[in-house]
Amino acid sequence: MDELLSKCRLIKNAFNIDVQVVDKRFQTIYHLSNDSEPLILVEARKAIYSDLQKALGEANKNSFCFHTDSFQLSYLAVALHENDQFQGMVLVGPFLNERVTDLFLWNILKHNRLDHNWFNPLEKFYKSLAYLGQSYLSISELLVNIVVNPRVDSKLITVKGEKAPSQPVVQPQDYSQSGMDVKLRYEAERIFLHFIEIGDKENAFKAFLEFAGDFSYRVPGNPLRAKKNLSFSSNTMSRLAAGRGGVEPQYLHAISEKFALRIEAAVAMSELDAIEFNMIEEYCEAVQNFNVKGHSPVVREALMEINLYFKESITVQSIADKIGFSRNYLARKFKEEMQISVIDYIHKKRIEEAVFLLEQGRLSITDIGIQVGFSSYNYFCKIFKDVKGITATEYKGIKQ
């Protein structure tokens, strides 16, 4: 048992993942844990013991079992044998194979029928877990070898190193023989940014494929970092193009910040490819949805206020006071240019957000009404039907 405990400590320290030893009667022998796991997740883990035991009992001793529960928490299990008889198992986990996002957490709440008050506690716990992705397969191989084979004590030997040889200087690719290729690429880049500026998503995708190249030589030995740098550059160029397309800085900052974090957190080339296409899509949609060019100053400023604060308790008077124009002048100019009154536009924005939340299936209709800015449930239901032609309940039923 001392040797087994030593092996478990090795696993815990190497991978920063909880390790548990369970006997064949599902009694915990010991558990190396940070003790921050919510009780509901502890019970969910106990519920998988019998399935893991059955799978491992029918397999040879060099097997491991991988399981992901309804909370999207993953575990690895390796059997413990004595005289070829199953005696229990070593359970490693929980860990994650998917990045933690709001949508990821809301889907967990919905699938397990949990109240939305669980969101923050689960988010805090999940963000403390190790994210393994597909590397769990390699870790599983190590786990089997550690558990099955006898432990060998290691000895540390230090060696005084000589001065490290200087790294060869990698010169940029010589474009002197391919000047036309460079010109074509920058022309494709110009066209790509033009399509971002006008919000043409389909053609922006096509143009992006024309100018995206291989710049791995810029970071020798680390192609992922090279591609991340290129993605950061694409994010910056797209943000500037969307700004020229009329999107306000507040929106651009939020989009740019979000994708910068996603790019840095990416662990695979394919993940960066997906991020780049999502980025193009979102910048184009921002130009389509939040372009305030072509309007008079009073309407432009009113649109910015409404687009930013429609979920709050705003009125025509509060907007007029904020932007420094009279209420009557604002109302008249807004109706002239937008073909809709200020109040109707606020209602339209709120109902668009309510529709999005209904389709996510996260909140009750009452909570959605409050979240999008309505102080009364009945008034929210009335406006929803006025705008969409059906009630919020009917809409929710259609989308489920």
CA distance 370 to 376: 7
Structure confidence at residue 259 (pLDDT): 86
Which is higher by pLDDT, 84 or 43? 43
Give the pLDDT mean for 351-358. 84
Same domain, 16 and 126: yes
CA-to-CA dists, residue 152 to 7, 61, 88, 147, 380, angstroms? 10, 20, 22, 12, 68
Residue 358 pLDDT > 70: yes
Q: Which of 251, 268, 290 is the last residue of a domain?
A: 290
Structure confidence at residue 316 (pLDDT): 94
The verdict on residue 62 lying in a domain is yes
Residue 153 pLDDT > 80: no
The verdict on residue 243 lying in a domain is yes
Residue 33 pLDDT > 50: yes
Residue 80 pLDDT > 50: yes
Structure confidence at residue 328 (pLDDT): 95
Structure confidence at residue 293 (pLDDT): 61
Which pLDDT band holds residue 156 (cuts at 50, 70, 90)? low
Q: In angstroms, how far apart are the furthest CA atoms of the chain? A: 89
Structure confidence at residue 384 (pLDDT): 94
Residue 170 pLDDT > 70: no
The verdict on residue 67 lying in a domain is yes
Give the pLDDT mean for 328-341. 93
CATH number of the domain residue 383 falls in: 1.10.10.60
Same domain, 16 and 138: yes
Q: Which of 127, 148, 169 is the last residue of a domain?
A: 148
Which pLDDT band holds residue 380 (cuts at 50, 70, 90)? very high
The verdict on residue 281 lying in a domain is yes
Same domain, 205 and 189: yes
The verdict on residue 160 lying in a domain is no
Q: Which residues, including other chains, have CB under 8 Å from residue 257's CB and lie 6 or more apart?
A: none
Sign of CA dihedral 240, 243, 249, 250: negative
Structure confidence at residue 173 (pLDDT): 47
For 191-219, write each residue's pLDDT tens digit. Answer: 888 888 888 888 888 888 776 665 555 56
CA-to-CA dists, residue 81 to 24, 156, 396, angstroms? 10, 31, 53
Same domain, 203 and 310: no
Same domain, 227 and 316: no
Give the pLDDT mean for 154-177. 52
Question: 41-55, 88-102, 150-164, 370-384 — which is least confidently predicted?
Answer: 150-164
Residue 176 pLDDT > 50: no
Same domain, 115 and 189: no
Give the pLDDT mean for 262-287. 82
The verdict on residue 47 lying in a domain is yes
The verdict on residue 129 lying in a domain is yes
- Number of structural domains found in the chain: 3
Give the pLDDT mean for 139-160. 69
Give the pLDDT mean for 98-110. 81
Same domain, 282 and 210: yes
Q: Quote the percentage of the chain above a pLDDT of 70.
A: 82
Alpha helices in the chain (DSSP H): 2-15, 39-46, 49-57, 102-111, 119-126, 136-148, 179-198, 201-211, 223-244, 249-265, 269-290, 297-309, 316-323, 327-338, 342-360, 365-371, 377-388, 392-399
The verdict on residue 31 lying in a domain is yes
Give the pLDDT mean for 320-330. 93
CATH number of the domain residue 25 falls in: 3.30.450
CA distance 195 to 190: 9
Same domain, 78 and 32: yes
Residue 1 pLDDT > 80: no
Same domain, 253 and 139: no
For 60-72, write each residue's pLDDT tens digit. Answer: 777 888 888 889 8
Structure confidence at residue 160 (pLDDT): 60
Most confident range (mean pLDDT) of 115-119, 191-195, 196-200, 373-377 is: 373-377
Structure confidence at residue 252 (pLDDT): 81
Peptide bond before 94: cis, by omega within 30 degrees of 0?
A: yes
Most confident range (mean pLDDT) of 66-80, 152-166, 265-279, 286-300 is: 66-80
Residue 12 pLDDT > 80: no
Same domain, 80 and 136: yes
Give the pLDDT mean for 93-115. 83
CA distance 75 to 45: 9
pTM strictly above 0.85: no
Structure confidence at residue 172 (pLDDT): 46
Domain that holds residue 239: 179-290
Give the pLDDT mean for 16-21. 85
Average model confidence (pLDDT) across the chain: 80
Q: Which of 245, 261, 290 is the last residue of a domain?
A: 290
Same domain, 257 and 308: no
Which pLDDT band holds residue 341 (cuts at 50, 70, 90)? very high
